[in-house]
Amino acid sequence: MLLEQFGGANGELAAAMQYSIQGLNCDDPERKDLLMDIGTEELSHLEIVGTLARMHLKPMKADRDSAEVDPLIAIAGGGGVGLFNSMGDAWTADYLKITGELDVDLRSNIAAEARAKIVYERLINFCDDPGSKDALQFLMTREITHMKAFTAALESMGKSPFSIGEIPPTPVLVDQYFNDSSGVGDEGETDFRGPWNEGGNWEIVEAPEQGVENLGSSNGKDAPSKKRKTSSKDNYKSRERAS
């Protein structure tokens, strides 16, 4: 299981590569330093995870029963760590989220640290070795530290939370919430309201079926919506006709 944080999608190698490459591409010297600092720290975390995994995998080198638990590690890997996750899938650069837009990359990093924190938490819950637990607790805590640093760096840029890139979103359309999963009867889904779809500038559009060209008109009056809630049977029939 420790290999998930060695060669997995949310592991230390992925984090180290993601932050370091973002740092190399960053034109902002202050935040470049942040990215390089944390990217370098993640390499040290990779060493900790690799050392822990190696300690726990060591019996596979000599004990048949232990080796039969995971032949991939015992036979192909000689009881050592490799660049793959807990399921045996090889590490890939596809794990990395690098856009070249600093604020977008910082948001990705915050999410990456949150996912890694959860993985460490689950590893701790399955661990019965006190020393390993202490190491995992340290690594889990540093994920929150990095989240705090990335969040502060993002907020210090002074950008609106929804100001992404250079091209602004389409007025009216950007504030329309499409209630697409509605249904009626036993097969329908219950509609809920909350700050994600009501209040402020939100406009709820019930099961929109019009073409893209009619959505989000400048005056908000030319974007008709279907007030009838569609059922699962209606949607199935629509898909049948389309095919």
Query: Which positions are annotated as active-site residues?
Result: 12, 42, 45, 113, 143, 146
Do residues 19 and 109 touch, judged by C-beta distance below 8 A? yes
Output the six-digit token pair for 93: 């650069």
The 3-state secondary structure of 122-170, one letter per residue: HHHHHCCCHHHHHHHHHHHHHHHHHHHHHHHHHHCCCCCCCCCCCCCCC
CA angle 29, 42, 131 (to 5 degrees): 150
Beta-bridge partners for 177: 204
CA distance 202 to 177: 7
Sign of CA dihedral 25, 28, 29, 33: negative
26 neighbors 34 (Cβ within 8 angstroms): no
| Residue 84 per-residue DSSP state | B
